Structure 1
Amino acid sequence: MFQVAAHPQTFPHHHLRHDAPPQHRRPASSAPAPIQLPRTLARPAFADIARDALAGAAPDLAAAGVPDEFIRHGLRAKGPAMLAGISALAPSHIPQSLPRSRLPPVLSVPLRAAAHGVALPTHALAVSPAGKVKDDADAPTTLYPVHAVVLAAHCTALPRMPRPAGPAGPASAAHAALPVLPLALPSPPAFAIIHAWLYAARLDAVLSSLLPAALPSPFLARLADPAAPALRTLEAALAARPTLHALATHVCAAAAGNLGALMGHAGHVKELWQDVVALGICDAGLWAAIDVAWEVVLGAMNLAAAQ
């Protein structure tokens, strides 16, 4: 199996920090028992692009010794063409779910009529749960068309991917032949967020997926503004406690103070964090988005518990 190590799914136990103003807290005698969550989500050690993995996906880039950031910058510029290549595949021929035992070695997908001139994906990832069921032949998998060079450039924990069945690049045939690679991750559903981010690099979309309909529109609009780097906006938010408090207040109100709903948000953030760690993604922007989401969810839960 094409697999990366799963980050431990058990959180270390720390008390949830109380940031609510004292006048809004309940008396200690009537306060519920504190919810056990980690104060921060640990980041893995930074890692450069694995040159062996890059050589398998883009030999020219590996041979030329192009710096990591230039590779990622160039891929962001090619993101629309790659997304068009994924969209060129006939979706009805990509199974929504298959058991591991029924995965084909190669997925042959017909192309739509408008597929000419786009960058087709090179592989299909069959994502399934890691952990106790990693050897379960009936474990469900979700298939994602991907470009090997995108994974090699961002996911430093992945080994070298096998060569595609045919040359990558503009579509010219009636079908795309995608080698199928089983990939076990701590949270298969969270990979959908990563897959979208790998191609669009939209941090506002990451936060909207983690906290659906919960963050204020002006904040998300600033993240989507190409004139203001999203990383700078996120770093400024992390450095400004009033901003984090305002965002937490908005999220708490959107959940109507329901701790169960807020715990659901926390679970989404935790699951994305686990997958990002397992894949070895070291992007500063994505990590800043995860940090903001976690800070805001903790703050919202504190506010809800104090009501």
Structure 2
Amino acid sequence: MGENENERGNSAYGRKPFRRSPSHFTDRITANGAEGWPVEAGRYRLIASRACPWASRAVIARRLLGLEDALSLGIADPLQDDRSWRFTLDPDGRDPVLGIRFLSQAYDARASEYPGGVSVPAVVDVPSGQLVTNDYQQLTLDLATEWTALHRPGAPDLYPAALRAEMDQLMATIGRDLNNGVYKAGFATEQADYERACRALFQCWEQVSQRLAGRRYLMGDTITEADIRLFTTLVRFDVVYHGHFKCNRWKLAEDPVLWAYARDLFQTPGFGDTVDFDHIKRHYYQVHTGINPTRIVALGPDLADWLTPHHREELGGRPFGDGTPPGPVPPGEEASAAGRP
């Protein structure tokens, strides 16, 4: 989930290994509303940060499934303060739909006390202004399986029933050792903890690279949720994780398979058009002051390399299965000009 006040690499960590706070609000929005929140077009607002890999999963899934008209999107400033994610990118510093200045206001409207801080992605009930869920693990799966009545024609099946057992196991390994592994290495305060996390990360890296050497996507010929989860870590790797988090055994650009795979996805509608490298770099380098007290933002790498040929199409495959690519990014949802190659 998005960094909160307990995830900024400061002295609050003490000398304990990094532990990601679990999602506290785990309500689900389902087709039949059995858990209290029914799928309903226009009722909910997805709050995300383009800096956060966990939130970016939801932004990509929403684009691929064509839920833009059904589930509105609010983007928080990549730079937080002690009052949590803020809407200073919007006119008057307020989210134009919810009318709030800080995401914490939606959390406070739901509960007076809650552990784990204020995180993204978050889904807010627009009529009440209350947080519904910050369960980043379940959110995207529900978008794929519970919101089907509101999917665009030609939406891909991101969580195929026949593949779920294998997908769940693969995503759990990638989640533990790669998605979260970069944080365990980056926020380590003991050498042994850092080395343990870094070794596990690159062991998983090698396994994933081998898996992708002969197949275009993690589960075969089509894009699934597993690819979304891997992509959001890979797209940040050389930009921030390699240097800022000391995950520097090698760069993404030094792995021919994973670098080509990441570029293939980046150039696929719904992936790269959601990425904002400016937000990513400013957030990591300027919010994690315990790691980077000078708050200096690194200049590189050259973003134009993301648009170079990848040749993964030679492996065949159908990115959207029997479906079609999503349409253009809706007006007003484009990444910033500074954050695009």
Structure-1-length-normalised TM-score: 0.30
Higher helix share: 1
Greater gyration radius: 1
Higher strand share: 1
Structure-2-length-normalised TM-score: 0.28
Higher RCO (C-alpha under 8 Å, 6+ residues apart):
1
